[in-house]
Amino acid sequence: MAAPGTAGGRVLVTGGAGFIGTTLARELADSAEQWVVLDNLHPQVHPGSEPPADLPASVDLRVGDVTSADDLDAVVADLRPDTVVHLAAETGTAQSLSESTRHGMVNVVGTTQLLDALTRAGHVPSHFVLTSSRAVYGEGVWRNVDGSTFQPGLRTHAQLESGAWDHGDGAAHVPNTVLGTHPSPINVYGATKLAQEQILSAWTGSHDTRLSVLRLQNVYGPRQSLSNPYTGIVSLFSRLAREGRSIPLYEDGEITRDFVHIDDVVSALVAAIAHKPADHVRTVDVGSGVRTTIGDLAREVARYHDAPEPHVTGQYRDGDVRHASCDVEVTLRQLDWQPRVSLRDGVAGLQEWIATQLD
């Protein structure tokens, strides 16, 4: 078993030139026997299709696509990885509704192509690590004022158009947990992430190997794409505030999310990679454990830049959830891990990094 903070062996990271993969490589690549990244350098994430400048020199970057059997065969047959970290995915919630085939191809077919390449090579890695998403929970579990709970479905277009943002009078969202919240995705992106979990669980179970699934909340921080419109609201809010503009807030500004800093996500991945699960599948929630309204986030970003007060627009996104947060108590125990970056410190650090990129 690799020691904490080391990778050990041969590691394949799909989509490893992106936001999370680059940060993870800076932490672990030098400790691996081989650290191979397969990434198609999509221009939506990598302007000009250029690899990130801060990928460590020890990273062996192979430009290729997880939907291509030939690209995967070339990497898998050569590397025969001990550990596979599967990061490659399309991530835009709204984009998944208008480009469903693209999300299905990359997230679902890309996963099955990876497994087929391993089968053709006659090789079974000892450990898979998948970055999944809080989107698999959909709207999650809600509690009525009388204490009873229910799991609502999709907020319809008509409901959102009428400004009926919540589910039930006085009902409140309960933080998601692996054991307490049945996955019920309400958008195409979430459905494809759940499919990834199920496909990998079936394959690894049949091949007597191990799978770690990390359901990530809203990840933000340095090295986040500033050009990709689907990478999250923290970078969007930051750009607007830097320009001295008032940040627009969708719905009533009371949408909540769990914003988790990239350093905390990577430390969870490091812990998961270093310590394989004792059983077939280990699934954990990775977040800050703190629920934040988008209004509070916007005010924190605006305060940093001395920008105008954010304003509520009443706009909405079809397929979006009202509230998303998680309880990380089980994760703390299973991974011996702790989120450490506060929202205020994380936002300030992101603004400082953005300044180095744009000034």
pLDDT per residue over 332-349, tens digit each? 999 999 999 999 999 999
Domain count, the chain: 1
Q: What is the largest CA-CA distance in the chain?
A: 59
Is residue 19 within 8 Å of 87, Cβ to Cβ?
no
Judged on CB neighbours under 10 Å (0-12, 13-18, 19+), 104 is middle
pLDDT per residue over 53-87, tens digit each? 889 999 999 999 999 999 999 999 999 999 999 99
Is residue 280 within 8 Å of 210, Cβ to Cβ?
yes
Is 235 part of a structural domain of the chain? yes
pLDDT per residue over 185-209, tens digit each? 999 999 999 999 999 999 999 999 9
Is 106 part of a structural domain of the chain? yes
Residue numbers of the domain that contains 172:
10-357
Give the whole-angstrom CA distance, residue 68 versus residue 45: 19
More confident residue, 44 or 159: 159
Catalytic (active-site) positions: 189
pLDDT per residue over 127-143, tens digit each? 999 999 999 999 999 99
Is 127 part of a structural domain of the chain? yes
**Residue 217, pLDDT above cutoff 70:** yes
What is the pLDDT at residue 202? Answer: 98
More confident residue, 5 or 328: 328
Token pair 């996104």 is found at 317
- Phi and psi at residue 115, to the nearest 5°: -70, -40
Is residue 293 within 8 Å of 256, Cβ to Cβ?
yes
**Residue 237, pLDDT above cutoff 90:** yes
What is the pLDDT at residue 226? Answer: 76
Which amino acid, one-letter code, is at 341? V
Q: Residue 77 maps to which CATH number?
A: 3.40.50.720
**Residue 1, pLDDT above cutoff 50:** no
Is 2 part of a structural domain of the chain? no
How confident is the model over 171-192, as a mean pLDDT?
A: 95
What is the pLDDT at residue 53? Answer: 81
**Residue 2, pLDDT above cutoff 70:** no
Q: What is the pTM of this model?
A: 0.94
Q: What is the DSSP string of 82-112?
A: SEEEE------HHHHHH-HHHHIIIIIIHHH
Is 4 part of a structural domain of the chain? no
pLDDT band at 52 (very low <50, low <70, confident <90, very high): confident
pLDDT per residue over 259-317, tens digit each? 999 999 999 999 999 999 989 999 999 999 999 999 999 999 999 999 999 999 999 99
Is 201 part of a structural domain of the chain? yes
